[in-house]
């Protein structure tokens, strides 16, 4: 006889997180850390970071598809992320929750901690583990800085410092962030935040909070 097929839990009892591709690795890390075996993940393109007007329409379609696929428990792995409240309208339409806060740079630090530095960080350029790994693909090449470094002042001239919000302790990522700050002519600050509020919000959404 062949091996018996393992029965899958009812899809309706699972939690689907529909998230920004920029935080996929971190969500999977939290899933493993908290042993959220009933959590499934699907992501919208990370490059929507540059096109926030695309987030809400894409999320609307993704939630509709998820419900058609049988998911009853859905969590949006985005903060507002520059949608100007449009993502909230989609969440309200479908009766789902999203990450609290204006953007991932806030919830990684924790909303309470972010509130204390938000004013001082107005002229700061944020980087995360993802943005360090993808610095060339997300900044150097799309902005043409690899070919025209003279454009750096045009793009980054209004910033005063680069703040690396570190989810992990990786010396290679530290080097990328430090090099980026030097290249952009910005002061450098590293904040070790871990996953911040991402952990507690996923735990809550998964029923572990």
Residue 188 · residue 162 · CB < 8 Å:
yes
Per the rule left: phi > 0, alpha: psi between -120 and 50, beta: everything else, 199 is alpha
pTM, rounded to two decimals: 0.89
* Architecture of the domain made up of 11-102+197-208: 3-Layer(aba) Sandwich (3.40)
The structure tokens listed for 67 are: 């419900």
For residue 209, the model assigns a pLDDT of 52
pLDDT means per 10 residues in the chain (209 residues)?
A: 42 90 97 96 95 97 97 97 97 98 96 95 96 91 84 88 98 97 95 97 87
* Closest to 180 measured CA to CA, from 122, 119, 147, 138: 138
100-136: burial string, b at 16+ Cβ within 10 Å, e else: ebebbbbbbbbbeebeeeeeebeebbbbbbbbbebbe
For residue 139, the model assigns a pLDDT of 87
Strand partners, 19: 43, 77
For residue 12, the model assigns a pLDDT of 66
Residue 58 · residue 3 · CB < 8 Å:
no
Token pair 């924790």 in the structure block, residue: 110
For residue 11, the model assigns a pLDDT of 67
Residue 175 · residue 188 · CB < 8 Å:
no
For residue 151, the model assigns a pLDDT of 85
For residue 2, the model assigns a pLDDT of 39
For the chain, what's the residue count? 209
Residue 203 · residue 28 · CB < 8 Å:
no
For residue 172, the model assigns a pLDDT of 97
Residues 6+ apart with CB under 8 A from 27: 17, 19, 41, 77, 198, 202
For CATH 3.40.50, list the domain ranges present in the chain.
Answer: 11-102+197-208
For residue 167, the model assigns a pLDDT of 98
**Distance in angstroms (rounded) separating the CA atoms of residues 125 and 17:** 28
For residue 6, the model assigns a pLDDT of 38
**Distance in angstroms (rounded) separating the CA atoms of residues 34 and 148:** 45
For residue 138, the model assigns a pLDDT of 87
Token pair 């329409």 in the structure block, residue: 57
């Amino acid at each position: 006889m062949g091996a018996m097929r393992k029965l899958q839990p009812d899809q309706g009892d699972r939690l689907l997180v529909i998230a920004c591709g920029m935080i996929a690795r971190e969500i999977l890390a939290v899933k493993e850390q908290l042993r959220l075996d009933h959590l499934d993940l699907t992501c919208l393109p990370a490059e929507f970071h540059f096109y926030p007007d695309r987030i809400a329409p894409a999320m609307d379609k993704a939630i509709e598809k998820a419900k058609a696929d049988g998911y009853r428990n859905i969590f949006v792995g985005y903060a507002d992320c520059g949608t100007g409240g449009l993502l909230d309208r989609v969440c309200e339409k479908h009766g789902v929750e999203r990450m609290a806060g204006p953007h991932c740079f806030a919830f990684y630090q924790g909303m309470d901690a972010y509130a204390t530095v938000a004013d001082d960080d107005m002229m700061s350029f944020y980087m995360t583990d993802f943005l360090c790994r993808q610095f060339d693909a997300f900044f150097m090449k799309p902005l043409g800085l690899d070919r025209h470094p003279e454009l750096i002042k045009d793009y980054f001239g209004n910033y005063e410092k680069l703040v690396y919000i570190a989810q992990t302790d990786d010396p290679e990522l530290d080097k990328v962030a430090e090099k980026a700050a030097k290249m952009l002519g910005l002061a450098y600050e590293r904040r070790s935040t871990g996953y911040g509020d991402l952990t507690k919000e996923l735990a809550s959404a998964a029923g572990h909070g």
